[in-house]
Chains A and B, each alone.
Chain A
Amino acid sequence: MSCAPDCTYYFKHTMKTIILFLSCLYISIGMFGQETQKINRYTITGRLTDKESGEALVGATIYVKELKTGAVSDIYGNYSLTLSEGRYSLVFSYIGFAPVEKSVSLNAGQKISLELDPHQQALKEVEVKSEKEDKNVKKPEMSTFRMDIKTIQRIPALMGEVDIIKAVQLLPGVQSVGEGSSGFSVRGGAPDQNLILLDEATIYNASHLMGFFSVFNNDAIKDVKLWKGDIPANYGGRLASVLDVRMNEGNSKKLEINGGLGIISSRLTIEAPIVKDRASFIVSGRRTYADLFLPLSSNKELRTSRLYFYDFNAKINYRINENNQVFLSGYFGRDVFKNPMASMQWGNETCTFRWNHLFSTKVFSNFSLVYSDYNYQLETKMDERNSFEWLSRLRDIGTKADFSYYPNTGNSIKFGGSIIYHMFQPGLTKATGNESVINEVRVPGNYALESAVYAGNEQHFNGHFTLKYGLRLSMFQNIGPGTVYHYDSSYKATDSTVFKAGDFYHTYAGIEPRLGLLYEFNQESSVKASYGRTFQYLQLAQNSTVGTPLDIWFPSSVNVKPQIADQVALGYFRNFRHNTIETSVEAYYKWMQNVVDFKDFAQLMLNSKLEGEIRSGKAWSYGLEFLVRINEKRVNGWVSYTYSRTFRQIDGINGGNAYPAPYDKPHNISVVLNWVISKRVNVSANWVYATGAPVTFPTGRVEVGGKIIPVYSERNAYRYPDYHRLDLSLTWLSKPNPGKKFSWDLNFSVYNVYNRHNTWAVNFVQDNINTTQTYAQKLYLFGIVPSITLNFHFNNEKN
């Protein structure tokens, strides 16, 4: 294996950090050792599930009233709580579910698995209000936001298509990259700096239909969590955020069918037990049919076009015994555009196999095999002189092992590792049919191994102070076969080196410390701080603000250094009215190195010398995020205000001077409210406001060959008009009737209620008739868009 010249430095530095980290962990575990010699300690363990569907409850709270502490269930619903001998009152709670209180006399290890009821109201005798859902204050994590699918489903949506990513874009610190787009920027980061995971598989392009819809079918999704910072050590590979999306496991109690008919698509989900309470499945499909209306168009080209997308989610799980459960899940989605001249299709495919194993009441584990594929194909009409097809593909095969160790209530240790093998086929064009004279052009493929090990602990000191520390060691290795071009100081390729299959020809290593502090002033308020370093070894060759499905991912290499971000954040968290109103204010500052931008007029597609088009430099972001989250019985939602700035400074761009990054929109307001008017009617509203995006405008013109050409300002020296929009929706539910198996709801929604023509782009146009005249022309996508969706629900047991 050959290494970069600075490799020795990396490894020395890595070793020092590991020794320091292990010393901390050793001291910490040593402390538990001394403690356990004095007092008898026993472990309560178990699994928390939804009584109605059997789905695991992720992040449910187990609260020990006497100690004012507790545990949280993991993504498989498992928890572990080690306490000293004694009598305790445990409260098991989860948002939207009736909490359960259990009295426990602890003189031996116990197993308490519970099914929480989503329908039943809180039992009067259980005094749970003050303990309910205070994770906002008590959990040593910040800069995160978890949304259950029910919350997302209430948010008014464009064309009635409920969409996870559109919901995420309403969170403080998150911005849409353009009207209707599925791309998002987190705390000033680029869209490719977000790690989007579906059941642990990376989704490389989360867009359908050019971004108007995301790949996530809400019927198949259970839970969504976004980390904007304070990213736990088990995640890595992107600078700005992690969006972790988990699919439903399938109802293990009864057959359930959910579906919807909308103006643009329809969907159907079937879930049922295979063996009651042990094995279940879910299959979910969705297809758009907007193209059915195209034949009505007056435009012949539209009339003869087809454009649609479909996607399919499936998951099966089997609970072998109390300590072993396996899951197999997959996603397949495709967008198809066709007209008589050409066709194009693209999509993601993922597959995840997981084995969830409990080694003991204190050690849980999960082993995963993950496959992810993003590819596109473009083809012109066959049997012409210039008929060709164009293919591109990125595949990952990976494995992960994650362990959780809960030695006592004071500590929860997580450790594990992952290895992902990336296979890039950036582009291949070749002739189709016998008539074509097009040559085959192949951008050489490349391969890389991305691996990481991590360990971290969440350590509680007395009743007020919690320290969270973790370390992730990542490594990225380019593997042959591969061609490396060498560039001179003007980015011109001078020569190249070809590496054989199996050659590890370049290695980067990253030390990524993660640190978090929590100080609880009392039950209702706390202050938190965090620091995290993240490395990113893959980036998207995307030069436009919104991007296309043809954008390709490319790896760090001899010529492209990994991007690095350091983020610090400080926050104050305060809950009111028995935790039904959560408030927070967070300030952050983020420094980024080796961020990627592209030279003017960069050629990013089918370019084997893509690396010569890259310019890299530094970037920085800072901001202040205010959030009020309401979770009252009849009103829920959030109101947020964010002030943030983000800049880049890159040699070769804007004369080397700093410029606002494309997603620098200083003022941002989101209001997302849902009001339950009655058992049959609820109303939701969104209002969003953002400062206009920065843009480069002309400051002069020259005329050459009859065309007026703009002379441009400095990069992003101007701004589009401010963006704001109001959306409303009303959901009318069928009459609640416990005797019926079938229920429905009808959702009316209006996007952009006051019909604001928000700027999508501004073009500078030369008049066709009077050719000396020029004018600015605004392009906007949507005026007011009303829609209606009928959702239905069936299950084979009475409600």
Chain B
Amino acid sequence: MKKIKLYPALLLFLAVACTERIDVKLDESYTRLVVDGRITTDSAAPVVALTKSSGYFSNASSPKVSGATVTIFDGTTSYLLPETVPGQSGIYSSKHPLPGKTGREYILHVELPSAISGHTSFEAGCMLHPVARIDSVKVIFHPDYGKSGAWTIDLYAQEPGDQVNFYMFNWFRNGRLMSDSIQKKIVMDDKFINGRYLGGIETFNIDDTHEWETIKPGDTVTLQMCGITAGYLNFISQVQMSGFNLPFFTGPPANVQGNIGNGGSGYFAAFSNSYATTIAR
């Protein structure tokens, strides 16, 4: 939830520590297929983006993987996701909305025209778990937070106590997704809140560091709560930590663990959504 500053001491190090860019000579590993795909309970088309890995300092967009055959199987039917711009975009999506259903396992299958890391066929499966309904959401300004105050988006919902749940949160300002990269999403499990009524627990904490990211009175703010799997939660947590190394807190760097078979990277996620909207005052 709210990013609790567990390590006030970290402040000391950020005050003491200095940074400088350095040149590092790195070797280049073999090429991997990268999958970034999702199906949700929204009335929308599932989307799967296929790219390839590249050298760490390649400093260009990831090479797209076109011409693949991508299908999603829901246990009874297999749906084809054609490439949105055939032979170019590397993005595969159904032409019509295909909302996922809770309690089903969705299997993604990718067939490539030519092999990557020795394979042409890749598969990933993900259960689609339900999510609790959001009763309401409030947006509150706290003048004592951060450098010059901050907004919090507070959640009101009943956490189901009869199952282990994993959550991802997004927020929208005036209909636009603001947590638009994986780094900006919030994920959590229910270890500390299982079965509790979440009567105004803080989710996003938004300061005014960047004007384009903050909230102004009158803005319409929507909170999205997604019911995800443990695997997807771990994946997002690992992605958020990757590349970052602070000798106190981080373990040895390791490759992020996704759910794509045959040595592929990335994640194919299935999750359910619930939303609530309010106006900032």
Binding between chains A and B = yes
A22 to B195, CA, bound (A): 63
- In the complex, how many angstroms separate the beta carbon of A542 from the nearest chain B beta carbon? 9
Is A546 among interface residues, defined by CB-CB distance under 8 A? Answer: yes
What 1/0 flags go to B5-23 for Cβ under 8 Å of A? 1111101110111111111
Known: A705-B182, A707-B181, A709-B239. A700 touches B34 (CB 8 A): no
A779 to B148, CA, bound (A): 27
Is B102 among interface residues, defined by CB-CB distance under 8 A? Answer: no
Q: Which residue of B lies closest to A659 (CB)?
A: B252
A601–B238 touching, CB < 8 Å: yes
- In the complex, how many angstroms separate the beta carbon of B271 from the nearest chain A beta carbon? 13
A181 to B246, CA, bound (A): 13
Task: Indicate which residue in B18, B24, B144 contacts A780 across the interface (CB closer than 8 Å).
Answer: B18
A712 to B147, CA, bound (A): 36
Chain B residues near A439 (CB, 8 Å)?
191-196
A772–B59 touching, CB < 8 Å: yes
B5–A602 touching, CB < 8 Å: no
- In the complex, how many angstroms separate the beta carbon of A263 from the nearest chain B beta carbon? 14
A337–B9 touching, CB < 8 Å: yes
A704 to B19, CA, bound (A): 26
A782–B147 touching, CB < 8 Å: no
Chain B residues near A757 (CB, 8 Å)?
18, 20
A698–B56 touching, CB < 8 Å: yes
Stretch at the interface among A3-11, A253-261, A379-387, A488-496: A379-387
Chain A residues near B237 (CB, 8 Å)?
601
Can you identify 28 A-B contacts, CB atoms within 8 angstroms? A302-B15, A340-B144, A342-B4, A344-B7, A384-B202, A386-B2, A439-B194, A439-B195, A698-B26, A700-B30, A700-B55, A700-B56, A703-B36, A705-B239, A710-B56, A711-B32, A711-B56, A757-B20, A763-B243, A763-B244, A763-B245, A776-B23, A777-B19, A777-B20, A778-B20, A778-B22, A779-B18, A779-B246
A299–B252 touching, CB < 8 Å: no
Chain B residues near A305 (CB, 8 Å)?
8, 11
- In the complex, how many angstroms separate the beta carbon of B189 from the nearest chain A beta carbon? 11
A702–B56 touching, CB < 8 Å: no
Is B265 among interface residues, defined by CB-CB distance under 8 A? Answer: yes
Is A147 among interface residues, defined by CB-CB distance under 8 A? Answer: no
How many A-B contacts if CB must be within 8 Å?
A: 256
A709–B59 touching, CB < 8 Å: no
B256–A709 touching, CB < 8 Å: yes
B247–A178 touching, CB < 8 Å: yes
Is A706 among interface residues, defined by CB-CB distance under 8 A? Answer: yes
Known: A699-B26, A777-B21. A706 touches B15 (CB 8 A): no
B254–A600 touching, CB < 8 Å: yes
B202–A783 touching, CB < 8 Å: no
- In the complex, how many angstroms separate the beta carbon of A493 from the nearest chain B beta carbon? 14
Chain B residues near A600 (CB, 8 Å)?
251-252, 254-255, 257
Task: Indicate which residue in A339, A343, A712, A760 contacts B254 across the interface (CB closer than 8 Å).
Answer: A712
- In the complex, how many angstroms separate the beta carbon of B12 from the nearest chain A beta carbon? 6
Chain A residues near B239 (CB, 8 Å)?
704-705, 707, 709
A437–B199 touching, CB < 8 Å: yes
Is B277 among interface residues, defined by CB-CB distance under 8 A? Answer: no
Known: A705-B182, A707-B181, A773-B59. A438 touches B193 (CB 8 A): yes
- In the complex, how many angstroms separate the beta carbon of A180 from the nearest chain B beta carbon? 9
B19–A705 touching, CB < 8 Å: no
Q: Which residue of A lies closest to B18 (CB)?
A: A780
Known: A341-B5, A702-B266. A696 touches B28 (CB 8 A): no
Known: A300-B147, A378-B6. A764 touches B19 (CB 8 A): no
A718 to B242, CA, bound (A): 17
A704–B192 touching, CB < 8 Å: no
A297 to B13, CA, bound (A): 14
Chain B residues near A762 (CB, 8 Å)?
22, 24, 245
Most chain A Cβ neighbours within 10 Å, of B56, B252, B255:
B252
Task: Indicate which residue in A341, A695, A701, A776 contacts B53 across the interface (CB closer than 8 Å).
Answer: A701
- In the complex, how many angstroms separate the beta carbon of A605 from the nearest chain B beta carbon? 10
Chain B residues near A438 (CB, 8 Å)?
192-193, 196
A340 to B4, CA, bound (A): 11
Task: Indicate which residue in B4, B31, B59, B197 contacts A774 across the interface (CB closer than 8 Å).
Answer: B59
A702–B21 touching, CB < 8 Å: no
B253–A700 touching, CB < 8 Å: no
Q: Which residue of B lies closest to A777 (CB)?
A: B19
Known: A299-B15, A709-B256. A342 touches B5 (CB 8 A): yes
Chain B residues near A704 (CB, 8 Å)?
34, 36, 182, 239, 265-267
Chain B residues near A783 (CB, 8 Å)?
18
B146–A300 touching, CB < 8 Å: yes
Task: Indicate which residue in B21, B34, B147, B183 contacts A301 across the interface (CB closer than 8 Å).
Answer: B147
B residues sitting closer than 8 Å to A (CB atoms) are 1-2, 4-9, 11-13, 15-24, 26-32, 34, 36, 51, 53-62, 144-148, 154, 180-183, 185, 191-202, 234, 237-257, 265-267
A residues sitting closer than 8 Å to B (CB atoms) are 178, 181, 209-210, 297, 299-302, 305, 307, 337-344, 378, 380, 384-386, 388, 429, 437-439, 441, 543-548, 598, 600-602, 606, 662, 695-713, 715-716, 718, 757, 760-766, 772-783
- In the complex, how many angstroms separate the beta carbon of A5 from the nearest chain B beta carbon? 33
Known: A302-B15, A544-B247. A699 touches B56 (CB 8 A): yes
B8–A437 touching, CB < 8 Å: no
Q: Which residue of A lies closest to B27 (CB)?
A: A699
A764–B192 touching, CB < 8 Å: no
Chain B residues near A338 (CB, 8 Å)?
8
A601 to B147, CA, bound (A): 32
B249–A548 touching, CB < 8 Å: yes
Task: Indicate which residue in A307, A545, A702 contacts B12 across the interface (CB closer than 8 Å).
Answer: A307
B11–A385 touching, CB < 8 Å: no
A704 to B18, CA, bound (A): 29
Known: A700-B28, A701-B56. A781 touches B51 (CB 8 A): no
- In the complex, how many angstroms separate the beta carbon of B161 from the nearest chain A beta carbon? 10
Q: Which residue of B lies closest to A341 (CB)?
A: B5
B5–A760 touching, CB < 8 Å: no
Chain A residues near B7 (CB, 8 Å)?
337, 344, 548
Q: Which residue of B lies closest to A210 (CB)?
A: B9
A697 to B22, CA, bound (A): 13
Chain B residues near A760 (CB, 8 Å)?
17, 247
A711–B198 touching, CB < 8 Å: no
Chain B residues near A606 (CB, 8 Å)?
191
Task: Indicate which residue in A210, A378, A696, A702 contacts B248 across the interface (CB closer than 8 Å).
Answer: A210
Task: Indicate which residue in A662, A697, A702 contacts B24 across the interface (CB closer than 8 Å).
Answer: A697
- In the complex, how many angstroms separate the beta carbon of A711 from the nearest chain B beta carbon? 5
A761 to B196, CA, bound (A): 40
A71 to B24, CA, bound (A): 57
B29–A700 touching, CB < 8 Å: yes
11 extra A-B contacts, CB within 8 A, seeds A696-B252, A710-B253, A775-B57 = A339-B8, A344-B9, A385-B202, A386-B2, A546-B247, A546-B248, A547-B248, A697-B26, A702-B265, A706-B183, A707-B240
Known: A544-B247, A772-B60, A780-B20. A700 touches B4 (CB 8 A): no
Task: Indicate which residue in B12, B183, B192, B250 contacts A210 across the interface (CB closer than 8 Å).
Answer: B12
Chain B residues near A703 (CB, 8 Å)?
34, 36, 51, 61-62
A700–B53 touching, CB < 8 Å: yes
B4–A544 touching, CB < 8 Å: no
- In the complex, how many angstroms separate the beta carbon of A697 from the nearest chain B beta carbon? 6
Chain B residues near A602 (CB, 8 Å)?
251
A783 to B23, CA, bound (A): 20
Task: Indicate which residue in A299, A706, A712 contacts B255 across the interface (CB closer than 8 Å).
Answer: A712
